[in-house]
Amino acid sequence: MTRADRVAFDSLLAEVRPLASAAARQAPGEVRLVLEDASRREEVAAALLERGCRFACVFAEDRREAEGAFHLYDVVEHPEDSRYLVVRYRIVPERPRFPSISVLTPAVNWMEREVQDWYGLEAAGHPNPRRVALHDHWPDVHPLRKDFAIDTVLPPFEGEPHVFRETVGEGVFYVPVGPVHAGIIEPGHFHFAVAGEPVIYLQLRLFYTHKGTEKRFEHLPFQHGVFLAESVSGDTSFGHGLAYCLALERAAGAEASSHAQTGRLVLLELERIYNHVADIGAIATDVGFGVANAHATRLREFLLRLNEELTGSRLLRGLVCPGGLRRAIGAASVPPFLEKIDSFAREFEDLVRLIEDSDSTVDRLEATGTLPPGKAGDLGIVGVAGRASGQDRDVRRDHPWGAYMRHEPRVPVFPHGDVLHRMRVRIEEVRESVSLIRAAALDLPEGPPAVALPPAAAGSTALAAVEGWRGEILHWVRTGEGGRLDRCRIKDPSLNNWPALVEAIPGNIIPDFPVVNKSFNLSYSGNDR
């Protein structure tokens, strides 16, 4: 049985009583179930969790005008199924609440609170129901409701942006950091409670870069939405652009051209290695090994230039499009490209040797910022951080599409959960990506770069999953009238993974925070949207 044939949901759903009576519908990459109301959501969640499921994403949409209700969605993954289970609950405007399942699975903590903020639907029984996406001093608005205009000008924000939880004890003091940080990085606020050197509690305040992205998608034509998707998180331009295009293709019932399917694999892996190399260098620099970082940034520049030689863009932008790629990767460009990939691979091994041979570097990284596998499992941590903490997940292998059906990656997993192993996961993944690129580039079919998409019927929905370099990216779309989307939900892996930092920091000293944070290297913009 190949991985694409795994269908655990087929038998599993019959065992979950509230779901058993609902008719399951198949769609590309998903199993869909619709429940009339959310009253049995806890029972459903408990049964799914008991059977080894993970809640990947929770979100809502405002369908009051078309269907007289809000819809709440749970996107669920099972290790033995190549599809995602998408359970939809109807929530009528007269009773704007749903039972929270954050106590059962803390993985959905922030996402349930997002639903509260965006739509004004109460997550009843949530252990910490405060705002998460809208800062506390925002007025009482719910921006993703359809009757909230995107260009609403809100009054200046006044009052306390956030009251942090108290940490009490002898000698405890607070260190507030951000949103403007010391390095060239994105904005966010970290509130450390410290006793002596070690941190005892960390609270995060994010969403400083919230820029109305999901709402903005509803106002752009499909083709232009690609560029917005590429700006969800600039370091993941290709990954997010690709997820968006895959979702549109699935909504239209089409597939990208065969040339594009393989080309997309090459480009997604290029994005992975240019980011991983930079992270490896940055981890070295945060423990004082500047020479290694000089080599790493040199290699990253080599890769950015290679990106440009192949695609015209250093960040792989403006190439993916609904139906394929805007331009073909010419057969003549493959041999010189692969020569450069080989020379990168040699240089990369030199870099790895420099770092792994430096005892003082390895010593600083080992057992620093540890996220135990148990906690990573409870929080549903994905991607690099998940795999370094025993979570054996990778969309490319578990939910394959396109060329990943033929080119299955080997997935490195370590149980240690420290900075060292988050770095080692990256090292292994760069090696794996290099061999995927080699194999796929030699296997690149000739043909048109893109197919013309048939128009999607208004009201169609689709889900796409892509393993970006940070981890699982989900885009869920509902098509609307006039070549626009009615809803676009973006789930960057950072939204799953930020809470991991809160668990990995306590017991470490503040001077180690930068290296721990860098080892996760989560996106602020992707999280905040």
Partner 1 sequence: MLGILRKSIRTGLVTIGDPIGSFNPPPAWRGTPRFDFAAWQDARPAAAACPTGAIRVEDGGAVRRVTADYGLCIFCGLCAEACPEGAVRMERELELPAASRQDLVVGAAYEIDAAGLQTRLVEGPWRGAPGARSVERTGAAVRQAVRKLLGRSLAIREVDAGSCNGCEIEIHALNNPLYDLERYGIHFVASPRHADMLLVTGPVTRNMELALLKTWRATPDPKVVVAAGACGISGGIFGRNYATRGPVDEVVPVDVYVPGCPPRPESLLYGILLAVGRLAPARAGAQQQER
- Residues interacting with partner 1, by CB under 8 A? 135, 141, 143, 148-154, 157, 179-180, 182-187, 207-213, 215-216, 220, 223-224, 227-228, 231-235, 237, 278, 291, 294-295, 297-298, 300-301, 304-305, 308-315, 317-318, 350, 353-354, 357, 523-525
Shortest CB 163 distance to partner 1, Å: 17
Shortest CB 352 distance to partner 1, Å: 12
Closer to partner 1 by CB, 314 or 431: give it.
Answer: 314
Closer to partner 1 by CB, 254 or 351: give it.
Answer: 351
Give the whole-angstrom CA distance, residue 255 versus residue 451: 8
Measured CA to CA in angstroms, residue 186 lies from 63, 116, 278, 527 at distances of 34, 25, 16, 11
Shortest CB 212 distance to partner 1, Å: 4
Give the whole-angstrom CA distance, residue 250 versus residue 452: 13
* DSSP symbol at 371: -
* Nearest CA among 279, 319, 329, 285 for reference residue 300: 279
Query: Which tokens in the block code for residue 165?
Result: 């939880």
Shortest CB 234 distance to partner 1, Å: 3
* Contact indicator for 127, 72 with CB cutoff of 8 Å: no
Shortest CB 269 distance to partner 1, Å: 18
Strand pairing class (84-91; 30-35): parallel
Closer to partner 1 by CB, 323 or 390: give it.
Answer: 323
Closer to partner 1 by CB, 35 or 278: give it.
Answer: 278
Closer to partner 1 by CB, 86 or 247: give it.
Answer: 247
Shortest CB 160 distance to partner 1, Å: 13
C-alpha 406: how far from its chain's center? Answer: 24
Query: Which tokens in the block code for residue 4?
Result: 């694409």
* Nearest CA among 323, 327, 118 for reference residue 222: 323
Shortest CB 230 distance to partner 1, Å: 8
Give the whole-angstrom CA distance, residue 432 versus residue 182: 34
Closer to partner 1 by CB, 106 or 483: give it.
Answer: 483
Closer to partner 1 by CB, 153 or 168: give it.
Answer: 153
Give the whole-angstrom CA distance, residue 71 versus residue 68: 10
* Nearest CA among 114, 62, 116, 126 for reference residue 92: 62
- Report the 10 Å Cβ neighbour count for 501: 20
Strand pairing class (122-124; 97-99): parallel
Q: Is 29 left (phi over 0), alpha (psi -120 to 50) or beta?
A: left
- Report the 10 Å Cβ neighbour count for 130: 12
Query: Which tokens in the block code for residue 391?
Result: 């979570």
Closer to partner 1 by CB, 75 or 329: give it.
Answer: 329
Read off the amino acid at residue 431.
R
Shortest CB 278 distance to partner 1, Å: 8
Closer to partner 1 by CB, 96 or 234: give it.
Answer: 234
Shortest CB 384 distance to partner 1, Å: 17
